Structure 1
Amino acid sequence: MVDSFRRDGMTFDVLDAGPPDGEPVVLLHGFPQDATAWDRVVPALHQHGLRTLAPHQRGYSPMARPRGRRRYRLRETTADVLALLDAAGLGSAHVVGHDWGGIVAWALGAWHPERVRTLTAISVPHPAAMARAVVTSDQALRSTYIGLFQLPVVPERLLLAGNGAALRRLLRSGGLPEDVVDRYVSRMRQPGALSAALGWYRALPWSGRDPVGRVRVPTLHLWSTGDAFLGRAATEATAGFVTGPYRLEVLEDLPHWIPELAPDRVAELVTAHVRTAQRP
């Protein structure tokens, strides 16, 4: 079991729990979450005999907040997960990602299929499907915040003004419980934390230079119709970028924050997905 790992001079904190000899499941959070996004999911996974490893990702671990936009590009964030697997002595694992964590999961499945036993992408479509939907649907309107988040200084001032009032309203409007909102806002108010988390968005010009290809590993895609940020067009186009076994599961009327708001369903689906593809 590991509580941290090191890469490139940085230390990443990890929540590693469950049966030490259980099937390993790596849980990757998004923005502006942290590893505790999975707190309501992991107990059920443990009950089914699964081990969970949830890292505070690059920009979220206090000792892993590098300066410079390029250091948050997708090649770096995927390499972080490979370093976690190496530190835990795991040749491969089941990978589950939500939001930005889902994009990392897609990249891992495409670039390093030998390290991914199964892939579960929550909310986010395959990046190529997302790019297509931006020019063929309302996805561009849903994604306008991405342009704002790439600006220097401005998003920090907007989101953190008044002790994080705007960020707090954004998370509350998505239906997150008050204790979860408090936890995420508190972390983002740490010195340099929000700028580091926004580094993922600001690195998009560099991440885009490394296309995520087709995915061959068994894949579960979980999306909710109430997601204000990610629409149906990209979700439905995703199947075209998966050549391995693929299943889309749609949750009705649920906002973007699926791990926090539907933890039992997430645990049920992930467990079933793992069981159908377990290696001897």
Structure 2
Amino acid sequence: MTGPYPIRFAHTALLDIAYEEHGEPDGQPIILLHGFPYDPRGYDEVWPLLAAQGHRVVVPYLRGYGPTRFRSEATMRSGQQAAIAQDLIDLMDALSIEKAALAGYDWGGRAACIVAALWPQRARCLVSGDGYNIQNIPASVKPASPEAEYRYWYQYYFHSARGMRGLTENREELSRLLWKLWSPSWGFSEDDFARSAVSFHNPDFVEIVIHSYRHRYGYAPGDPVLQKIEDRLAEQPQISVPTISLCGADDGVGPPDKEDSSQFSGPFERRILPGVGHNIPQEAPEATAQALLELIGKS
């Protein structure tokens, strides 16, 4: 199933957050969060399975994607983890959602994990792509294994002026390459990619992406307004809400090579998805929806 779907806007202090909404307005809220370089199209086969069960499903465009816009030119175009998490809290407040089931992968998974860790009263449950996604920025100076490091080439590319220019001039070509490398067993079509690629032409896309990958290694300062949140995240807080971690067995950027339950203090289950790469909801929509429905049914 594909869009387009009606776009709505949640007005927060910093952003006009674009989102798509499906299902029953009075149903149990579920928020589905995309990553980089993807957009809400990744959930087109997930939300119908949730809406069919009477849930209210909200699928936002992250800052820097699609129709989401900053309300002021003066606002820092931060891509740091605290910013996307605060955006999620602000979205929930704007939509009068006190508590929601959260699902996300990549950047969206990080936002969901942070909210579940720091504001557990706002998260009914969590489905996280690749488990605990909260960045340990103070420890980022320590090199990973060479096997892991080579997969991060794009991050180091973005640390340079050449990489920023490359993303500016070749954002679709670069994003398409990442889709292929990260999901080597997923035979996505050119139409699949094109439906998401339009979201990468947001005027703030490049600046936010570059800041995100520089800040996480300490190469760019964060937004001072968000420092208190970053300080809490530096402590690597545990997640207490019921969680299912979905891991693509063929993930080309973050293969599931180790157990990741130590940061979860509540009910936790890890599921490895054969033949699935990094874009978990678009590659495994039934498994994504099933995990959410199971958790909601138990909570």
Same fold? TM cut 0.5: yes
Q: Distance in 1 between matches of 2:205 and 2:136?
A: 30
Structure 2: which 5+ residue stretches go unaligned?
1-6
Q: Equivalent residue for 2:24? A: 19
Q: Does 1:243 align with 2:265?
A: yes
1:202 corresponds, among 194, 214, 234, to 214
Cα distance, 1:58 vs structure 2: 1.3
Of the structure 1 ranges 165-174 and 71-80, higher mean CA displacement relative to structure 2 is found in 165-174
SS at structure 2 position matched to 1:71: coil
Q: Distance in 2 between matches of 1:198 and 1:124?
A: 24
Q: Distance in 2 between matches of 1:85 and 1:187?
A: 22
Q: Does 1:40 align with 2:52?
A: no
Root mean square deviation, CA, Å: 2.8
Residue pair 1:117, 1:217 contacting (<8 A) in 2 also: yes
Q: Equivalent residue for 1:170? A: 178
Q: Equivalent residue for 2:251? A: 227
SS at structure 1 position matched to 2:252: coil
SS at structure 1 position matched to 2:281: helix
Q: Distance in 2 between matches of 1:170 and 1:128?
A: 20
Q: Does 1:28 align with 2:33?
A: yes
Residue pair 1:70, 1:203 contacting (<8 A) in 2 also: no
Q: Does 1:145 align with 2:154?
A: yes
Cα distance, 1:112 vs structure 2: 0.5
Q: Does 1:182 align with 2:173?
A: no
Q: Distance in 2 between matches of 1:273 and 1:137?
A: 37
Q: Distance in 2 between matches of 1:161 and 1:128?
A: 28
Task: Report Cα offsets for 1:9-33 as digits up to 9, x if no partner.
Answer: 3211111211112111111110011
Residue pair 1:59, 1:199 contacting (<8 A) in 2 also: no
Q: Does 1:127 align with 2:151?
A: no
Cα distance, 1:122 vs structure 2: 1.3
Q: Which amino acid aligns with 2:254?
A: L
Structure (1/2) with the larger helix percentage:
1
SS at structure 1 position matched to 2:48: helix
- Aligned positions of 1:35-184 closer than 5 A: 35-60=40-65, 61-64=67-70, 71-123=78-130, 125-127=132-134, 135=144, 138-152=147-161, 154-159=162-167, 161=169, 164-173=172-181, 174=183, 175=186, 176-184=188-196
Q: Distance in 2 between matches of 1:134 and 1:98?
A: 24
Task: Report Cα offsets for 1:106-156 as digits up to 9, x if no partner.
Answer: 11111111111101101353436896996468333322322222334x334
Residue pair 1:69, 1:199 contacting (<8 A) in 2 also: no
CA gap of 1:134–1:114, structure 2 versus 1, over 3 A, is: farther
SS at structure 2 position matched to 1:232: coil
CA gap of 1:37–1:199, structure 2 versus 1, over 3 A, is: farther
CA gap of 1:56–1:162, structure 2 versus 1, over 3 A, is: closer
Q: Which amino acid aligns with 1:143?
A: Y
Q: Which amino acid aligns with 1:73?
A: Q
- TM-score, normalization by structure 2: 0.80
CA gap of 1:191–1:113, structure 2 versus 1, over 3 A, is: closer
Structure 1: which 5+ residue stretches go unaligned?
none
Residue pair 1:172, 1:181 contacting (<8 A) in 2 also: no
Cα distance, 1:188 vs structure 2: 1.8
Task: Report Cα offsets for 1:194-221 as digits up to 9, x if no partner.
Answer: 3333432233234865323111111110
Cα distance, 1:186 vs structure 2: 2.8
